[in-house]
A and B are shown apart, each in its own frame.
Chain A
């Protein structure tokens, strides 16, 4: 069974569109994250939720809105997509937000904005 899964794996869309990426973890973890990996492979955290509550909100345009319907799911909605949003987006989870446990990453969603 996949521990952290994301859908879709690939997403190609045009500028100005709105799209969502979904993430699910079956590890029973309390904390989930969204990371962005740019074309130079630089990984940067965007958001983190602990038990459905937002705990990390980095300097990200407000076109990006995370939503956690329950602690096993963390979705990322992006409005008015721009060329610079093209990247690979990774979801991750950890047992809690204490820092005592490792983060498990999903396979990534490659978003291409044309």
Chain B
């Protein structure tokens, strides 16, 4: 089955700096890669996703890049703000898999003033 690794497990940045979280996946058939943000005491919320026919996607301060050959994808947050502090999860799934998401182990992002 699919295995998703995520690094780093914790990330501390100064407000205004950029943050990068990286994931690798094992199943070359995976073709959908969402990123979720989980705030304390809440459920995960989708912040951006990318499909395998696209190499990069951007939404304001958030961008995701995908390297299918290397089976890597990354989340980039620019101009970080204190409200970006949360746990971020990457995930992967493939067509025909019943929309089963395999999650990475999460990254605790702390944005310090």
Residues on A lying within 8 angstroms of B by beta carbon are 4, 31, 40-45, 48, 50, 55-56, 90, 92, 94, 96-99, 101-108
Partner of A41, one of B42, B46, B87: B87
Main secondary structure of the interface of B (DSSP, over half): loop
- Which 3 pairs from chain A and chain B are nearest by CB? A105-B43, A43-B103, A55-B98
Are the C-beta atoms of A97 and B98 separated by less than 8 Å? yes
Are the C-beta atoms of A107 and B43 separated by less than 8 Å? yes
Are the C-beta atoms of B32 and A99 separated by less than 8 Å? yes
Complex interface bits, B19-50 against A, C-beta within 8 A gives 1, otherwise 0: 00000000000011010101001111110010
Q: Which of B85-113 contact A (CB under 8 A)?
A: 87, 89, 93-103, 105-106
Give the CA-CA distance A55 to B41 in the complex, in Å.
Answer: 29
CB-based nearest B residue for A40: B105
Are the C-beta atoms of B106 and A102 separated by less than 8 Å? no
Q: Which residues of A contact B38 (CB under 8 A)?
A: 41
A76 to B: closest C-beta gap in Å: 15
Give the CA-CA distance A97 to B31 in the complex, in Å.
Answer: 14
